[in-house]
A and B are shown apart, each in its own frame.
Chain A
Amino acid sequence: MTDITSTLFSMSNGRAADISGLNRMDMPRFQETVINGIGCGLRLAAMFAHETDAGALRLWAILARDSQSELLPLYTDCTGESYPSLTPQCPQAHWFEREIFEQWGLRPMGHPWLKPIRFQSPYRKHAAAAPTTPIGVTDFFQVSGEEVHEVAVGPVHAGIIEPGHFRFQCHGETVLHLEISLGYQHRGVERRLMNGPDSRSIHYMETLAGDTTVGHAVSYCQIMEALSETRAPQRALAVRGIGLELERIANHIGDLGALSGDVGFLPTMSYCGRIRGDALNITALLCGNRFGRGLVCPGGAGFDLDSARQAELLRRLDALESDAASAVNLLWKTSSVMARFEGTGPLTPQVCNEIGLVGFAARACGVRRDIRQDFPSGIYEYARIPISTQDSGDVLARAYVRWLEIQRAIAFIREQTAKLPDGPVREPLGGLAANRLAVSLTEGWRGEICHVAITDDQGRFRHYKICDPSFHNWFGLALALREQQISDFPLCNKSFNLSYCGHDL
């Protein structure tokens, strides 16, 4: 296939572009470009719609060319209330098209499974808008036949976790299909960001997914800095990187413990639960809050890492490293654990690419996809971190990639702390430029976090799109469950550990 996208305008991560300089495409050209691009190996990082001043719907797609660190923004103005769905030729678009339909009533004709993803009220009152139904009231994919049965779980689950609904179609113990129905956590964040930013905006970012406070805050701050042409000081970039990697360590180690608990191996579960707390406490050493609230702010970092703090951080990191190593390495030596991890919930690289999986879940399928390498921004432009991959795509691969990432994150934090650049950690933020598009990608601990902002002629957010890695990956979990034992669901689920509120916004 000849790549027709190679001549198109592209931008780099964390930059803004003047929208008047972009070419508007007509719908057929837009479609052809997206399908061609995806066919040539690009990824759909985001797709969304917003209303123009004239009241028309403008449809955007942000394509990511990982190999060249290029982001391609495309847009078209819709004339009617529908357009031909991209999904049949480009499965990566399926969730985005459902989202756009739910929000704006723009109907993708020919979409194979068009139904709400959040059960939210539409952004505009419109005849074509999808009717708002009470949450969970919808058709579920059903399998019929002898001995086929259905299992419904949630929204309230057994543990201390967020709500969501899972519908399993089973034959005996074997799962034929899992459908995941979310929206219970919908708090209306994107809606409230329109016409922003305001004093709440940064706090929305910090609580989009509470376990990814630093990740989303960094993405947002890169947007703000791109729109205001502010350069966060080098020292702040290093502090942000340290915060991001601490977040990765805390979540990965906690999940390794939980995975261990799910297969009934209590030693590693107990140790990792505590070690996760140690990682959170290192973040609290930096900013007073275990989740990194206030650590990152537009223009830089909210707190400096003074030399006494650096020494304490390094001391605690050493202790964490040896505790984690002894706790986690037990997993690989315990045959009862390995027997449950190996071969469970596998995904192939083909499926991974087709549905646009991101983060460690993609790397566990052998796909070298990592924003820190493909679209480095902030400190990652100056300091590279080795990419961790595994090939088997199963629970074991996802667990092992996380363990590799913990070790590399520890080494990275050490290195950054040792050579922390001098200078301030915060630069005052200028005003936001009008009529701009800004795109910001960050490798959060789950994977690619994508934020896109479009400003109006006052420099306010006309639209702010947030794409948590969970948005791409929930469908991956559903596919990983096929032909698996239903009793392995908790294990598979934990191996991804996706965010409900990050998805529901």
Chain B
Amino acid sequence: MLDILLTRIQQKHRTISYPKGPAPELPDRFAGAPVFDPGPCAEDCGRCADVCPTRAICRAPELRVDLGRCIFCRKCEAACLENRIRFGPDYRMSVRKREHLWADGRPLQLAKSLDAAGKRLFGRSLKLRQVSAGGCNACEADVNVLGTVGWDLGRFGIQFVASPRHADGLLITGPVTANMKEALLKTYAATPAPKLVIAVGACAISGGIYSGHEQVNDGAVDILPVDLLIPGCPPHPLTILDGLLRLLGRIEKLSQNPI
């Protein structure tokens, strides 16, 4: 017993103070939202699009990156001779609509909060059922980590529950494999309305690098009505937390400009 108490003292209080305090520091090599240097690009270049494994880059009429497809591998950054694309430190990338995931250098339209009725329902208590539908366990792990003492998701009233019957919504990871589609739809059906759907990671949004495989459905977006999209491969826990809190209207007031 004494050991347990001594260990408790040694392990200290570790919960981050964010969002009241500053966000935890990210590594200097972290790849967040892309930043663009003003063009123009040579018309016949296209090196970035050629190396992109997920065809996330569109060069006309202007250089844009689809964050719903991007896996943040930075191959384009390395390929560009003019340093037009860099992946910056901004972890805030969650949006409410699929088309808001196009990054073109203008500030992203970050997720707006639920309307008043939605906030009244879910704002202080949001129970989610997580469904991995072909996820590689990286998105799952970084969702899971939000439940640890370091992040303590419970302090926002957000919790993962064992049964869809107890849930206010689904948090989906993975490209939705053909073999998981039915289970996903059944889980959705078993969740009482009104319900939210959150897609986490490039796979759940677009299929990621598995897009186009006959064995997957290119994500959940075309299968279920998605209320929040959190890009990344996998998204950093801070990106996920930022998205969830924005949806619940808890950090709207914070600056929307890139950090």
Which A residues lie at the B interface, using CB under 8 A?
118-121, 134-135, 155-156, 158-163, 183-188, 191-192, 199-200, 203-204, 207-211, 213, 254, 267, 270-271, 273-274, 276-277, 280-281, 284-291, 293-294, 303, 322-323, 326-327, 330, 333-334, 499-501, 504
Instruction: Name 19 interchain pairs, CB-CB below 8 A, sorted by A.
Output: A160-B160, A162-B137, A163-B133, A184-B133, A184-B134, A184-B177, A184-B179, A185-B134, A186-B177, A187-B216, A199-B53, A204-B209, A209-B137, A210-B234, A285-B27, A289-B30, A293-B71, A323-B11, A501-B137
Chain B residues near A286 (CB-CB < 8 A):
29
Q: Which residue of B lies closest to A188 (CB)?
A: B215
Residues in chain B near residue A203, CB distance under 8 A = 53, 71, 73, 209
Task: Say which residue of A184, A199, A274, A499 sits within 8 Å of B180 (CB atoms).
Answer: A184
Known: A188-B214, A199-B75. 16 other contacts (CB 8 A): A158-B162, A161-B132, A162-B135, A183-B179, A184-B133, A187-B215, A199-B53, A200-B53, A209-B137, A271-B11, A273-B148, A277-B148, A277-B150, A303-B29, A501-B134, A501-B135
Contact A288 B7 (CB under 8 A): no
> For residue A119, which residues in chain B have a CB less than 8 angstroms away from its CB?
179
Query: Contact mask B107-146 → A, CB, 8 Å, 1/0?
Result: 0000000000000000000000011111111111111110
Contact A210 B213 (CB under 8 A): no
Q: In the bound complex, what is the Cα–Cα distance between A499 and B216 (angstroms)?
A: 19
Complex CA gap A461/B214 in Å reads: 20
Q: Which residues of chain A have C-beta atoms less than 8 A from B177's C-beta?
A: 184-187
Chain B residues with CB under 8 A of A290? 142, 236
User: Do residues A210 and B136 form an inter-chain contact, with CB atoms below 8 A?
Assistant: yes
Measured CA separation A134–B181 after assembly (Å): 11
Q: A119-B179, A274-B14, A288-B30 are in contact. Are A156 and B215 (CB under 8 A)?
A: no
Taking A161-B140, A199-B52, A323-B11 as contacts, is the C-beta distance between A288 and B27 under 8 angstroms?
yes
State A35–B251 Cα separation when bound (angstroms).
64
**B45 interface contact, C-beta 8 A:** no
Question: Which residues on B sit within 8 Å (CB–CB) of A294?
Answer: 73-74
Give Cα A271–Cα B145 distance, bound, in whole angstroms. 12
Residue of A156, A280, A285, A291 ringed by the most chain B CB atoms within 10 A:
A156
A-side contacts of B236, CB under 8 Å: 290
Partner of B183, one of A184, A208, A334, A504: A184
Interface: B31 (CB within 8 A): yes
- Is B219 an interface residue, CB under 8 A from the partner? no
The distance in angstroms between the C-alpha atoms of A200 and B75, with both chains bound, is 11
B43 contacts A by Cβ under 8 Å:
no
Interface residue tally of chain B, by bracket? Answer: 35 or more
A160 contacts across to B, CB distance below 8 A = 130, 132, 140, 143-144, 147, 160
A284 touching B138, Cβ below 8 Å: no
- Complex CA distance for A209 and B11, rounded to whole angstroms: 31
A155 B145 Cβ-Cβ under 8 A: no
Which B residues lie within 8 Å of A303 (CB)? 29
Residues of A close to B178: CB separation below 8 A: 186
B207 to chain A, nearest CB (A): 9
Contact of A326 among B7, B136, B237 (CB under 8 A): B7
CB-CB under 8 A from B133, the residues of chain A are 163, 184
Q: A184-B177, A188-B215, A333-B3 are in contact. Are A208 and B136 (CB under 8 A)?
A: yes
Decide: A207 near B138, CB < 8 A? Known: A156-B131, A160-B144, A163-B133: yes
B255: Cβ under 8 A from any A Cβ? no
Cβ-closest 4 pairs across A and B? A210-B138, A288-B29, A210-B136, A273-B148
Question: Do B210 and A159 touch (CB < 8 A)?
Answer: no
Find chain B residues with CB under 8 A from A293 CB: 71-73, 233
Q: A268 CB to closest chain B CB, in angstroms?
A: 8
B175 at the A/B interface (Cβ < 8 Å)? Answer: yes
Report Cα–Cα, A273/B149, bound state, in Å.
Answer: 7
Per the bound structure, the CA–CA distance linking A273 and B131 in Å amounts to 21
Contact call B209/A200, Cβ cutoff below 8 A: yes
A163→B145 contact, CB < 8 A: no
A326 to B6, CA, bound (A): 9
A residues within 8 A CB of B164? 156
- Which of chain A's residues has its CB closest to B4's CB? A267
B155 at interface, CB cutoff 8 A = no
Cα(A186)–Cα(B149), bound, Å: 33
Chain B residue nearest to A185 (CB atoms) is B134
Q: Report B-chain residues with C-beta under 8 Å of the C-beta of A333.
A: 3
- CB neighbours of A254 from chain B (8 A): 141
Q: How far is the CB of A206 from chain B (nearest CB, A)?
A: 8
B31 near A185 (CB under 8 angstroms)? no
Q: Measured between alpha carbons, how far is A360 from B80 in the docked complex, in Å?
A: 44
Among residues of A, the one whose C-beta sits closest to the C-beta of B236 is: A290
* Cα separation A458 to B75 with both chains bound (whole Å): 26
B166 to chain A, nearest CB (A): 11
Q: Does B20 contact A (CB under 8 A)?
A: no
A500–B132 Cα gap in the complex (Å)?
11
CA distance A184 to B133 in the complex (A): 7
Report the minimal beta-carbon distance from A155 to chain B, rounded to whole angstroms.
Answer: 5
B233, closest chain A residue (CB): A293
Chain B residues numbered 33-51 whose CB sits less than 8 Å from any CB in chain A = 51
Contact of B8 with A by CB under 8 A? yes
- Residues of A within 8 Å of B187, CB to CB, are 156
Q: Are B179 and A135 in contact (CB under 8 A)?
A: yes
Q: Are A211 and B213 interface neighbours, CB within 8 A?
A: no
B29-A211 in contact (CB<8A): no
Cβ contacts under 8 Å, A135 to chain B: 179, 182
**B208 to chain A: which residues have CB within 8 Å?**
207
Chain A proximity of B25: nearest CB distance (Å):
10
A188 close to B213 (CB less than 8 A): yes
Smallest CB separation, A258 vs chain B (Å): 10
